[in-house]
Chains A and B, each alone.
Chain A
Amino acid sequence: MLLCIEHLNKSFCGNPILSDIAFSVDAGDCVAILGPSGVGKTTLLRCLNFLERAESGSYTLDGTTYDLHHISTGEIAGIRRKTGFVFQEFNLFLNKTVLQNVTEGLTVVRRMPKAEAEETAMRALARVGMEDKKDAWPVSLSGGQKQRAAIARALALSPEILYFDEPTSALDPALTGEVLSVMRNLAGEGMTMLVVTHELAFAREVSNRVLFMDDGRIAEDADSAVFFSQPKTDKAKGFLQRLQKKGENET
């Protein structure tokens, strides 16, 4: 078991958003987090990387357990060292080229010499098919290219687990494919991934597990095949039907 979350609670201004969340992820898992908008999927991922502070809960990574609320800056830095985050809105550093975006964490945080950092960065860019764009400024990229660069930025730090928050939701439908195929390859290479997504095909074909969230709780935690063929809760059934119908209308 690589990651284990227990009793995670989070509220905003007194409104409970996440209640008693618990799940675990094994090394090599690709876990899809599904659920309607506003149920707290983004908040959950953000709590896991301390972009939001949970009220309570425990967080075990690699055999070390931390308190999600009472945790020191140093411990947070240590956890972030082992995890990568891919945002819906890419969040590339606009004043850095694609290559500099990827080397930034290596040179500034890991204190890697520049030449070595660039080599590492180029390997990461190769994995997402962005080597030829290494000197481009982020503003000149398409959405799909931006997201692939952002994935390379996270990959270069060789994280033990990668969090994705709706990585294709801000993209033109025509550009989601290139990002999904990069993610599919990563999963195939054994990268541990936790992916919030509305892409049912990705969840069904690539992820081996599904967490279905509803109303701030994990309503179902099942193997992908089981979840898609026999969803247990009515909420999940309704959710799948709605998304499938939407998918059919689009194609």
Chain B
Amino acid sequence: MTERLWGILVDSFPKILIPGLTLTIPLTAVSFALALVIALAVAMIQFANVRILKEICRFYIWIIRGTPLLVQLYVVFFGLPGVGIMIDPIPCAILVFAVNEGAYSAETIRAALEAVPRGQIEAGYCVGMNYLQIMRRIVIPQAFRTAFPPLSNSLIAMVKDTSLAANITVAEMLMSTQRIVARTYEPLALYLEVGLIYLLFCTVLTRLQHVGEKKLSTYLTDQT
């Protein structure tokens, strides 16, 4: 490796990492948190079989899962201004990522809720609890354990999908890298470098997933 290339890599490392820490990570965290709120609501509406609302939820999931994330970003960022709705790039990215991931996670959570044995719900009624108490104290905690690995998957996928925000002028890691490439003409090394930083982020999340799973599984282990 030439001295020049090494210099570029070292020089660009903080220039890529910092947008990663200030944009990619917060963008992911906020979008995913919002997505979970949407997903839990949508999943519970379906689980409780609330008429009409349930149809609306199915429609939402159908639209979101049936269209590309990038198209959704374009519609909101470039399309909506045409009808007078202007949203800044970062809020726009958060909105689209949250609404998009909400649809997928809703299905994950719904499946997890349905996997909790029904008998426990009946037992909850028999000790006098109401529906919301049973959901909050018995069903959702167990569903969360079931949904945790697939939700971790989604979170890890979202870290990488935030790179799509580069298309709507959010200067996250990928866009920062593209700018450096334009200046230095070292695409191979620099794209590998940004890939490596994504890998680093995802490795940390994978570790956290393992720790989380262990914590959540205490009640499933055979120990007292």
Contacts and interface: CB of A to CB of B under 8 A. Distances in A.
Categorize the interface residue count of chain B.
20 to 34
Contacts of A138: 219
Nearest to B223: A140
B138 A93 contact: yes
B127 A104 contact: yes
Contacts of A90: 119
Interface string A91-112: 1111111000000110011100
Contacts of A133: 224
A49 B126 contact: yes
Given A91-B119, A93-B138, A139 B220 contact: yes
A94 B128 contact: no
A50, A96, A135, A150 interface centre (most CB from chain B within 10 Å) = A96
A91 B127 contact: no
Interface string B189-224: 000000000000000000000000000001111111
Contact of B128 (A80, A89, A97): A80
A122 B126 CA distance: 20
Contacts of B137: 93, 104, 108
B78 to A, nearest CB: 46
Given A95-B141, A109-B128, A87 B222 contact: no
Contact of A94 (B130, B133, B219, B224): B219
Contacts of A110: 128
Nearest to A139: B220
Nearest to B143: A95
Contacts of A150: 123
Given A91-B120, A137-B219, A139-B219, A85 B126 contact: yes
B114 interface: no
Q: Which 5 pairs between the two chains have the least Cβ-Cβ distance?
A: A105-B127, A91-B119, A109-B128, A91-B123, A85-B126
